[in-house]
Amino acid sequence: MSEPPETSEDDDLPYCACGHTRHHLMVSPEPEYTAWGTFWVTLMGVSAAPICIRFRCRVCKSLFDLTNDPDELRTFL
């Protein structure tokens, strides 16, 4: 295996037409839940872990990134 180690450099992240990465102020996370998760969140008012999170730029309105990294998902509980 010659994969380079993971880094947290923004350079490696996808970005939208404006050049914003998921960490930019104008980029909003949009958590996506399973049907069952949506049921709990919307009807029961409890928190469920999203299955993935999409990132939408509020300037150009494009969805340009998503994550299903468990560590990141946990921050949206």
Q: Are 29 and 69 contacting, i.e. CB atoms less than 8 angstroms apart?
A: no
Site for Zn ion contains 13 (CB under 5 A): no
Give the count of residues interacting with Zn ion (CB under 5 A). 5
Q: Give, in order, the Cα–Cα distances in Å from 44 to each of 33, 37, 40, 41.
A: 14, 10, 5, 6
Question: Which residue number, 21 or 50, has a Cβ lying nearer to Zn ion?
Answer: 21
The helix/strand/coil state of 70 is: helix
Q: Is 16 in the site for Zn ion (CB under 5 A)?
A: yes
Among 47, 59, 63, 69, binds Zn ion (CB under 5 A): 59
Chain positions contacting Zn ion, by CB under 5 A: 16, 18, 57, 59-60
